[in-house]
Chains A and B, each alone.
Chain A
Amino acid sequence: MNQLAHNRISMRRYQDDEVVDAVIIGTGAGGAPLLAKLAAAGLRVVALEAGPWWEAPAEQFATDETSASKIYWTDERLSAGDTSVVFGGNNSGTGVGGSTLHWGAFVPRADPRDLRIHTDFHEGADWPLTYADLLPYYEEVETFLGVSGPAHYPWDSGRRYPTGPVPINAPGQLMQRGFAALGLRTSAAPIAALSEPYARPEYGQRPACVNRGFCHQGCRNGAKASMDATYLPWAVRDGAEIRPDSFVHGFERGSGGNITSVLFRQTGTAGKAGTERRQRTRAVFLCAGGIETPRLLLHTGLANSSGQVGRNFMAHVATQVWGTFAGRVGMNKGFPATVISEDMLRPAGAPFTGGYLVQSLGVTPVTWAQGVARGRGLFGEELVSYLDRYNFVAGIGINGDCVPVKGNYLELSEEVDRNGLPKPRVHFSYGKSELAMSEHAVTLLKAAWQAAGAEDMWTLERTAHTIGTCRMGSSPEASVVGSFGQSHDLGNLWICDNSVFPSSLAANPALTIMALSLRTAEHFLASR
């Protein structure tokens, strides 16, 4: 049992007909910090989590990719458009802790310029807030999680990480080698996993990472700062209730239009049928992620006077280059991505909007084999003999900005899933900018990999993260929520997850989602 499971024993419980102060839907990076902050402020809060509660990660998470599907969101999503987005394990999790359970925990901050992308490039949208608005929350999250990182971050001289970097592994060394040869800077990456034991009064002691490398299959010892190891034990200790296996499918509203209760189905366990329940509440925080949040709003018809719910879907350009090296690499050991470069955030003369981060890649065998078979297009003896090279390959990849456009959106399909809701269908196609960015990256990454000694290189085109769909902005006509996440339509509905991002940023989203979550919590508490 982890600390959260211990705290669960004495967890406070609320009655369904008791009007609580807030219901938080989802316990990932958006919901968990809010839940903790509200509970710590003495509010009566209930979190509804669609997935199960893993109380003993050390026993429940095997070092096995197939069995990890239990922490992936596997209700089917339909992928349309020219650039097919792969859902499931690639970008969506489930369980108490949400997607942070299978999260890569790569936590760069947003670059200040990425928040005003429209001003600089006349494409996409500016954020209704600045880097200065986010900075205190970034620092609070990093300190709370014990983010590990370098003493001097090359692209931000003022930044300090609470613990030193996790050890750089073989793919990280190769990226250092390749980038140095090209005259580009690298750094140990900021990672939300501990390089040394770390203690916080809110959640107690967490041990250091032991370099298993199976972070996407669930951390066993709590070194990774997934929400079940950090914000959630604090939330439960301070009076929050978490209800697992609770899928929200509707709302009830009062005469004034505000939400008065949340309708959810608690799924049955061990052959028992599920039960329909209703939690009365004063406020609702929808933190279900870039797909489930707009899906629920479209299904219920709420908060969409702007017509923007589901619009502006974005996914990071996440192209990878792979190569084979003469010596043994063993890319499965160590954190999946240990080295970063932010040198490509605004490459001179580049024909695209924004820029991209570069990271070293170690990928576990089954995921890698799928990428090879799908992306490299191999089959037969060619496939089998290339897979035999596993211990000698390493990857390098990017996470790049994506321009929101009209043709990229989420809608409800005609097919209904086991929850009784229509399956979401996501339309996504790269535009000129994304195509140019991927091409630019492939040239650079291949040069770096060649300099590092790679042979037999190939490119895996892929996307990462689900972003946009409930854009934040100052205009109620053009956005779904304001800069603090409050719905323009409903006074007591707030959204906090990657759906509110007006632009995708080059940075991986989780750290920014957590910062927004703290900011929303503070604003909500101050305005009560």
Chain B
Amino acid sequence: MLPYTLNGKHGPLIVMLHWLGGSANTWTEVSAGLVARDFRCAALDLPGFGRAVDDDRFSVAQMSTAVLETVRGLRGAASKEPWFLAGHSMGGKLAAVLTRAAENGEVDLQNLRGVFLVSPSPPGVEPMTESKREDALRDLGQSTGDAEKDREHAKAFVDDNVGKLALPEAIEQRTTADVLHMSRAALRAWMTGGSKEDWAERVGTLSTPALVLAGTEESALNPAAQRKHTLAHFSRATLVPLEGSSHLGPLERPWELIEHITDFVASLGMSWPERTESLPATTLSPGFLRLIDSDCTSPQTRSLLLQRLTPQAFFPAIFTSSQRHAARALARRVVPAAPQDLASKLEEQLTRPQQDGSRRASLPADADAWLQGLASFEAASKRTFGVPFAALDGARQDELLKQAAAGTLGRGLLGALYLGAGAESFTPEQMKDWFEDVRGELAKLYMTDPRTLERVGFTGFADDHGFTHIRLGELEDFENTTAQARQDAR
């Protein structure tokens, strides 16, 4: 078996295959996000990389076999559990080969529900210029003997594969270290062998649903090239361009990948986690749940609280998928601790005919305001960083949020001259007003959730017998019990 990093305890398994120069680390951010959405992620180290640096099974067939063995080990022989395969660049070619094996009835790969390919190297010969191959072989094919120079080459290799938005420093350093660590023989083998192997006929046309993502800033493997070289092999594929991204999607755009993968899996009709009757019990402590169930809480209050713990079917109605991604990103920055997807809650709320009864005259109706506000963040993000808002890391998103709050983000004097996406933006004043509404609405949705009430220690809903201990430091009997239970739980 190949070395792997497994995260997550529940949900469908995703097996992840990295790029030339990467390792299991390539998927760190994507895995963390998907685990939070109840997937299990197994990121592998391919032969010659990461912890498998001494493994020299470099041909496409050898690597595919090594992956297959690992999948068997991870899932158990002949497992029927649904699973997914993700492949980045070089890993994408292996994913296509394994998908063919799965469709051919390989018993250890059965019930493969979909593949996620990020800037994949296609099944046929990779369209790469000879000069690029030569550059890579020259700079990385062997050590220069000078550690500093090696490091420079590795860093340049990473930077050359990044689009408009530079990688956050920590990620760039980690990725450079991965490149330095790889077996140089593995690089040579891929450049002169693996990437030139033609598997086009052997892979043929696959019917497994595929999500293909490709950066618009990439030269050889851009969305148009992927349509030609990769989509030809997948009869049920969705191609999503990553605007402003280059070749390192999992590192450049982890949040977008998470959103696209989640949406894609949902579009297959899969619902996860399994919805069970016991869900509320698993998300609140037993003591808190007992209080909700007790006669201290009125029946109508109890029913409202429990209802909020039950996942509701979500019927998107207002946002497009990219607007939804931006809304989720925004909600995550405003209320990072939310126990549920506040953006979906909010979108559902925006479809109702009656809102809160109050609107600033400077802003359009609530749903329109959201569309325009998100468009404003989008335009500002593209103007400042060259990529969509959802593609930014948290620190950069916060930069824009702070500008919105301060009344310095939006269509100003300069904005008026900007005739691209920014022409539809709010003025800085409107942006400030709207962002205040956004904070208020998200805080409200957050505080309404019983899981938040428990976190905060609020038990005022348990008032059916009234309160008698209302002075400083006083606790009702049940509050003593609940506080004790909270302590015990910690």
Assuming A373-B440, A379-B333, is B357 touching A74 (CB within 8 A)? yes
A170 contact from B301, B355, B356, B471, Cβ within 8 A? B471
Per-residue A-contact encoding for B233-246, CB less than 8 Å = 1, 0 else: 00000000000000
Min CB distance, A379 to chain B, in Å? 4
A42 at the B interface (CB under 8 A): no
From the candidates B301, B336, B401, B448, name the one contacting A63 in the complex (CB within 8 A).
Answer: B301
In chain A, residues 484-508, which have Cβ atoms closer than 8 Å to a Cβ of chain B?
A: none
Q: Give the docked Cα–Cα distance between A391 and B482 (Å).
A: 14
B468 contacts A by Cβ under 8 Å: yes
Q: Is B466 in contact with chain A by the CB < 8 A criterion? A: yes
| Cα(A372)–Cα(B447), bound, Å | 11
Among A60, A61, A170, A380, the residue within 8 A (CB) of B470 is: A170
Q: Which residues 151-182 of A sit at the B interface, judged by CB distance below 8 A?
A: 167-170, 173-174
Task: Please count how many residues in chain B sit with their CB below 8 Å of the partner chain's CB atoms.
Answer: 57
CB atoms of B467 and A67 under 8 A apart:
no
CA distance A73 to B357 in the complex (A): 6
Within 8 A of A (CB), among B350-385: 353-362
**Are A327 and B357 interface neighbours, CB within 8 A?**
no
Residues B358 and A87 in contact, CB atoms below 8 Å apart: yes
Flag if A327 contacts B398 (CB, 8 Å): no
Q: A77-B358, A87-B358, A210-B467 are in contact. Are A379 and B304 (CB under 8 A)?
A: no
B442 on the interface (CB 8 Å rule)? Answer: yes
Of the candidates B353, B444, B460, B467, the one whose C-beta lies within 8 Å of that of A370 is B444
Q: Residue-by-residue, is B36-78 near A (CB-CB < 8 Å gives 1, otherwise 0)?
A: 0000000000000000000000000000000000000000000
Q: Does A429 contact B (CB under 8 A)?
A: no
Residues of A within 8 A of B305 (CB): 64
Interface centre among A73, A92, A211, by most chain B C-beta atoms within 10 angstroms, is A211
Are B456 and A79 in contact, CB atoms less than 8 angstroms apart?
Answer: no
B457 nearest in chain A by CB position: A391
Tally of A-B Cβ pairs under 8 angstroms: 183
Nearest to A374 among chain B residues (CB) is B440
Chain A contact residues: helix, strand, loop or mixed: loop
Give every chain A residue within 8 A of B467 (Cβ-Cβ).
210-213, 333-334
Q: Would you call B405 an interface residue if the criterion is a C-beta within 8 Å of the partner chain's C-beta atoms? A: yes
**Contact between B357 and A366, CB atoms less than 8 A apart:** no
CA distance A369 to B449 in the complex (A): 12
A63 touches B442 (CB 8 A): no
Q: How many Å lie between the Cα of A377 and that of B443 in the bound state? A: 11
A76 vs chain B, min Cβ distance (A): 5
Asked whether B358 lies within 8 Å of A62 as measured between CB atoms, the reply is no
- With a cutoff of 8 Å between Cβ atoms, the chain B residues found around residue A92 in the complex are 357
Q: Which residues of A contact B358 (CB under 8 A)?
A: 76-77, 79, 85-88, 90
Q: Name which residue of chain B comes closest to A166, CB basis.
A: B470
Please state if B357 and A88 are interface contacts (CB–CB under 8 Å).
yes
Interface segment out of the listed A111-119, A268-276, A295-303, A382-390: A382-390
Contact of B458 among A67, A74, A169, A332 (CB under 8 A): A332
Determine if B439 is an interface residue (Cβ-Cβ < 8 Å).
yes
Residues of B within 8 A of A213 (CB): 460, 463, 467
The answer to whether A78 and B357 touch (CB under 8 A), given A213-B467, A370-B440, is no
A74-B357, A332-B460 known; A60+B300 contact, CB < 8 A: yes
A364 at the interface (CB under 8 A from B): yes
For chain A, residues 355 to 376, give those with C-beta under 8 angstroms from any C-beta of chain B: 364-366, 368-370, 372-374
Residues of B within 8 A of A329 (CB): 472
Q: Which of A174, A372, A378, A383 has the most CB of B within 10 A?
A: A383
Alpha-carbon separation in the docked complex, A212 to B459 (Å): 11
How far, in angstroms, from A359 to B358 measured CA to CA in the complex? 26
A89 at interface, CB cutoff 8 A: yes
Min CB distance, A462 to chain B, in Å? 12
The yes or no answer to A264 lying at the interface (CB within 8 A) is no
Are A391 and B468 in contact (CB-based, < 8 A)? Answer: no
B87 to chain A, nearest CB (A): 34
- Asked if A333 contacts B470 (CB within 8 A), the reply is yes
A77-B359, A365-B458 given; A379·B439 CB < 8 A: yes
Task: Please indicate the chain B residues that have their CB under 8 angstroms from the CB of A330 in the complex.
Answer: 470, 474-475, 479
Measured in the bound complex, the distance between the Cα atoms of B361 and A85 in whole Å is 11
Cα distance A60–B353 in the bound complex, in angstroms: 22
Known A-B contacts A334-B470, A365-B456, A366-B447; A78 and B439 likewise in contact (beta carbons under 8 Å): no
Is B28 in contact with chain A by the CB < 8 A criterion?
A: no
Residues of chain A in range 330-344 having any CB-CB distance to chain B below 8 Å: 330, 332-334
Q: Which residue of B lies closest to A177 (CB)?
A: B472
B83 close to chain A: CB less than 8 A: no
| A383 and B335 form a contact (CB under 8 A) | yes
- In angstroms, Cα B355 to Cα A74, docked, is 6
Q: Are A76 and B355 in contact (CB under 8 A)?
A: yes
A214 proximity list for chain B (CB < 8 A): 460, 463
Query: Are A79 and B337 in contact, with the CB atoms below 8 A?
Result: no
Q: When the two chains form their complex, are residues B472 and A173 in contact, meaning their CB atoms are under 8 A apart?
A: yes
Encode A314-331 as 1/0 by CB contact (under 8 A) with B.
Answer: 000000000000011110
Cα of A388 to Cα of B443 in the assembled complex, Å: 12
Indicate if A418 sits at the interface (CB-CB under 8 A).
yes
For residue B284, CB closer than 8 A to chain A, the reply is no
A380-B448 contact in complex given A63-B298, A72-B357, A390-B458, C-beta closer than 8 Å: no
Docked-complex contact B300 and A62, CB < 8 angstroms: yes
Question: Closest chain B residue to A61 by CB distance?
Answer: B300
B357 near A77 (CB under 8 angstroms)? yes
Which B293-344 residues have C-beta < 8 A from chain A?
Answer: 297-301, 304-305, 333-337
A72 to B357 Cα, complex, angstroms: 8
Q: Is B473 an interface residue (CB 8 A)?
A: yes
CB distance from A273 to the nearest CB of B (A): 16
Interface flag for B453 (CB, 8 Å): yes
Whether the pair B466, A62 counts as a contact (CB closer than 8 A) is no
Q: How far is the CA of A244 from the CA of B488 in the complex (A)?
A: 51
Q: Is A75 an interface residue (CB 8 A)?
A: yes
**Nearest B residue to A90, CB-CB:** B358
A64 touches which of B301, B439, B469 (Cβ 8 Å): B301
Contact of A387 among B362, B433, B447, B474 (CB under 8 A): B447
Q: Which residue of A lies closest to B439 (CB)?
A: A373
- B455 lies within 8 A of chain A by Cβ: yes
Q: Does A66 contact B (CB under 8 A)?
A: yes
Task: Note all chain A residues with C-beta closer than 8 A to B474.
Answer: 170, 330
Listed by A's residue number, 6 A-B pairs whose Cβ atoms lie within 8 Å are A66-B304, A77-B357, A88-B357, A328-B475, A365-B456, A425-B361
Given contact pairs A78-B360, A170-B472, a sample of 14 additional A-B residue pairs in the complex whose CB atoms are under 8 Å apart: A64-B301, A69-B356, A79-B358, A88-B357, A211-B466, A213-B463, A327-B472, A327-B473, A334-B470, A370-B440, A370-B447, A374-B440, A377-B439, A387-B456
The 9 closest A-B pairs by CB, nearest first: A210-B466, A88-B357, A373-B443, A80-B361, A74-B357, A373-B439, A87-B358, A332-B460, A369-B447
